[in-house]
């Protein structure tokens, strides 16, 4: 390279918190502009990534060694010298309870997060009963290894369409889980597809230092470190006890999109706060306590819900009298859904987000945020959305109420249709009766067209598993009830039947070709 020659217009470092300045300088020197993307509350650079030494496990047990000590990162060195923008909207978690702990304890509530539609606890604690007299539990509790393997296999059997990752706090514990799982799968050929390395987001078992950048639908966080033979807490939590341990824990508890389970052989009540000197250890106790509550309690960090103004009180009282069960101000961060309408029968499930143009609406910094982006994100998470304008409410209240009631009833019917579709996807083989799309109120058997027998095509495989001929036959089966459907509706039904939840480019392309060929062959 000639003096002064620039090879790149822009140099971009992602995960800049993990990049040492010495490693970054050569690239920076070859660029005209520099962009750093990273989070200083996540993992710093460590010597752990510089080698795969056989002494890693010994290093982990000795807090003073470099393998667990943080170095300055290029983000820390240059971040304050560059103009920066904080990205505050959080999109990964399908339910804000998955990120609420980190938002409260590490980000000072600065993240904008969104409630999920409910129907279960996204965060939970799985306790393993301590058995005295078993050596080695201080570093890797054997009963915890057994429980983690049981949870992995249970997930693979019952929810194979959802991806899974296991995070162990220690290297030794991660290795023992991998070995125990390998032995448990020796006679489980039926689960080979779930554990296939060819999957786009394959199953993994990793220790804390290796998971930054990963995400899965479900995460199992296994503490591993337990009590002594005689039942005493030793407070040995590996990297969590070291400087930057809170950042390691932050990475671990924010990898899940839909569900996280913490497995440990002790509970928060077993941990004496006075014995917890490291910030990471104190945060571990607080997180186990949070998981024990099912993600319902942030302790003293919980935000006070805003008080309803007179307009919102009138909306709440009027809609409640008209039969809509409401929960006001749903949320745990700075963003609240004004009213979350509950399903009339299924406890804990919400079907409609109702927003008013009250105080929280006007506090949004931009029109784009309050009128479009918040609604789009809620709908992405499975919500139906309805807006009540104060001008309409005061000018013609009965009309506004009638429109809201219609929106609620439509949301309940849509939720019931989705539930029915999920139950039908779970059936294997055999003929399946289908109701016409958009007509859920027809009684069973009242002239509803029947489909032919479903072709023997397995479900819950990657799209590349299926031949074009199989997809064509599946499309023909979907349309064998002779109901009129758009191409997009057929695409959605085939995806549901095969167990696909996300519309990937390859999935849409393969099924669309099958629809085109199936309809061309049948003269449609």
- The pLDDT of residue 394 is 93
With 80 as the cut, is the pLDDT of residue 168 above it? yes
pLDDT band at 359 (very low <50, low <70, confident <90, very high): low
Short-list 128, 194, 190, 187, CA closest to 164: 194
Q: How far apart are CA 221 and CA 152, in angstroms?
A: 12
- Given a contact cutoff of 8 angstroms between Cβ atoms, the answer to whether 256 and 222 are in contact is no
CA distance 265 to 226: 6
Q: In what order do the strands lie in the sheet with 384-388?
A: 326-330, 337-342, 350-356, 384-388
- Phi first, then psi, for residue 330 (nearest 5°) are -80, 130
Residues with Cβ within 8 Å of residue 343, at least 6 apart in sequence: 349, 350, 351, 412, 415
Distance CA 148, CA 164 (A): 12
- DSSP letters for 334-350: S--EEEEEEPSSSTTBE
Q: In sequence order, what are the residues at sequence separation of 6 or more whose Cβ sits closer than 8 angstroms to the Cβ of residue 216? A: 163, 164, 165, 201, 204, 255, 256, 257
How confident is the model over 197-235, as pLDDT tens digits? 888 899 999 998 888 889 999 999 999 998 988 888 989
User: pLDDT confidence of 377, banded at 50, 70, 90?
Assistant: confident
What is the rounded distance in angstroms from the CA atom of residue 505 to the CA atom of residue 501? 13
Residue spans of alpha helices (H) in 324-431: 359-363, 367-368, 374-380, 390-395, 397-425
The model's pTM is 0.70
Residue 119: pLDDT band with limits 50, 70, 90: low
∠ Cα 250 242 294 (to 5°): 35
**What is the rounded average pLDDT of the residues 295-307?**
77
CB 109 within 8 A of CB 103: yes
* Residues of the chain above pLDDT 90, percent: 38
The first and second tokens of residue 82, run together, are 């560059």
More confident: 59 or 129: 129
Any idea what the Cα angle at residue 191 is, between residues 189 and 197, rounded to 5°? 105
Could you read off the pLDDT of 249-288 as tens digits, one per residue?
Answer: 999 999 999 999 999 999 999 999 999 989 999 999 999 9
Q: Is the pLDDT of residue 316 over 80?
A: yes
CA terminus-to-terminus distance, the chain: 62
Q: Which of 436-445, 451-460, 478-487 has the lowest mean pLDDT?
A: 436-445
Per DSSP, helices labelled H in 428-486 are 468-478
pLDDT of residue 460 exceeding 70: yes
What is the DSSP-derived secondary structure letter of residue 118?
B
Best CA proximity match to 111, nearest among 250, 243, 212? 250
pLDDT at 196 over 70: yes
What's the pLDDT score for residue 71? 55
d(CA 512, CA 329): 42
Helix (H) or strand (E) holding 181: helix 171-184
Beta-carbon-side half-sphere exposure of residue 445 (alpha carbons within 13 Å): 0
SS3 224: coil
Tokens encoding 324: 């809509």
| Residue scoring higher pLDDT (407 or 109) | 407
CATH topology of domain 310-420: Endonuclease; Chain A (3.40.960)
Of the ranges 104-108, 185-189, 403-407, 478-482, which one carries the lowest mean pLDDT score?
Answer: 478-482
Contact 453, 430 (CB under 8 A): yes
- Tell me how far apart the alpha carbons of residues 443 and 439 are, in angstroms, rounded to a whole number: 10
If you search the block for the tokens 């309805």, which residue do you land on? 386
121-301 and 310-420 share one fold: no
Within its chain, how far is the Cα of 33 from the centroid? Answer: 34
Domain ranges within the chain, ordered by starting residue: 8-78, 121-301, 310-420, 429-521
Using one digit for the tens of pLDDT, what is the confidence trace for 6-27?
Answer: 689 999 998 888 888 888 899 9
What pLDDT does 69 receive?
Answer: 46
**386 vs 442: CA distance, rounded Å:** 26
Amino acid 465: pLDDT: 80
Domain 121-301 CATH class label: alpha beta
* Average pLDDT, integer, range 368-381: 80
The torsion angles phi and psi of 134, rounded to 5 degrees, stand at -100, 115
CB-based contacts of 341: which residues, under 8 Å, 6+ apart? 324, 325, 326, 350, 351, 352, 353, 354, 408, 411
pLDDT confidence of residue 346 = 83
Average model confidence (pLDDT) for the chain? 82
Q: What share of the chain is helix, strand, coil (3-state, %, to 5)?
A: 45, 15, 45
Written as one string, the DSSP assignment of 496-513 is HHHT--S--HHHHHHHHH
Nearest to 377, CA basis, from 332, 326, 335:
335
């Amino acid at each position: 390279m000639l003096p002064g020659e620039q090879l790149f217009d822009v140099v971009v470092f992602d995960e800049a918190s993990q990049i040492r300045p010495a490693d970054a300088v050569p690239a920076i020197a070859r660029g005209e502009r520099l962009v750093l993307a990273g989070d200083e509350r996540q993992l710093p650079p460590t010597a752990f990534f510089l080698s795969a030494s056989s002494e890693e496990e010994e290093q982990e047990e000795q807090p003073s060694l470099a393998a667990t000590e943080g170095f300055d990162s290029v983000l820390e060195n240059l971040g304050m010298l560059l103009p920066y923008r904080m990205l505050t909207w959080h999109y990964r978690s399908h339910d804000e309870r998955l990120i609420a702990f980190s938002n409260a304890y590490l980000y000072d509530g600065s993240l904008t997060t969104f409630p999920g539609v409910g129907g279960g606890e996204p965060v939970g604690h799985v306790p393993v009963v301590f058995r005295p007299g078993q050596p080695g539990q201080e570093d890797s509790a054997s009963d915890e290894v057994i429980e983690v393997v049981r949870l992995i296999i249970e997930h693979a059997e019952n929810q194979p369409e959802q991806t899974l990752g296991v995070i162990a706090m220690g290297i030794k514990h991660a290795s023992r889980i991998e070995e125990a799982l390998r032995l448990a799968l020796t006679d489980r050929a039926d689960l080979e597809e779930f554990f296939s390395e060819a999957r786009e987001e394959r199953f993994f078992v990793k220790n804390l230092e290796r998971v930054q950048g990963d995400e899965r639908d479900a995460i199992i966080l296994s503490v591993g470190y337990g009590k002594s033979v005689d039942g005493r807490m030793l407070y040995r939590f590996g990297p969590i006890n070291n400087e930057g341990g809170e950042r390691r824990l932050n990475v671990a508890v924010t990898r899940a999109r839909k569900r996280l389970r913490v497995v440990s052989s002790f509970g928060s009540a077993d941990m004496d706060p006075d014995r917890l000197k490291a910030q990471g250890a104190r945060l571990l106790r607080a997180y186990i306590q949070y998981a024990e509550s099912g993600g319902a309690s942030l302790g003293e960090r919980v935000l006070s819900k805003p008080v309803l103004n007179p307009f919102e009180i009138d909306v709440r009282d009027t809609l409640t009298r008209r039969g809509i069960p409401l929960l006001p101000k749903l949320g745990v961060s700075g963003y609240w859904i004004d009213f979350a309408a509950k399903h009339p029968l299924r406890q804990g499930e919400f079907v409609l987000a109702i927003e008013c143009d009250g105080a929280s609406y006007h506090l949004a910094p931009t029109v784009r945020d309050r009128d479009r982006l918040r609604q789009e994100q809620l709908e992405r998470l499975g919500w139906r959305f309805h807006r009540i304008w104060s001008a309409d409410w005061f000018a013609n209240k009965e009309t506004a109420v009638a429109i809201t009631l219609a929106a609620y009833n439509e949301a309940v019917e849509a939720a019931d249709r989705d539930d029915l579709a999920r139950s039908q996807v779970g059936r294997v083989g055999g003929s399946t009766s289908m109701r016409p799309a958009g007509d859920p109120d027809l009684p069973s058997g009242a002239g509803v067209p029947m489909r032919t027998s479903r072709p023997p095509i397995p479900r819950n495989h990657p799209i590349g598993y299926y031949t074009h001929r199989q997809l064509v036959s599946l499309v023909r089966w979907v349309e064998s009830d002779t109901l009129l459907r758009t191409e997009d509706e057929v695409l959605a039904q085939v995806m549901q039947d095969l167990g696909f939840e996300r519309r990937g480019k390859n999935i849409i392309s393969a099924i669309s070709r099958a629809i085109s060929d199936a309809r061309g062959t049948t003269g449609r």
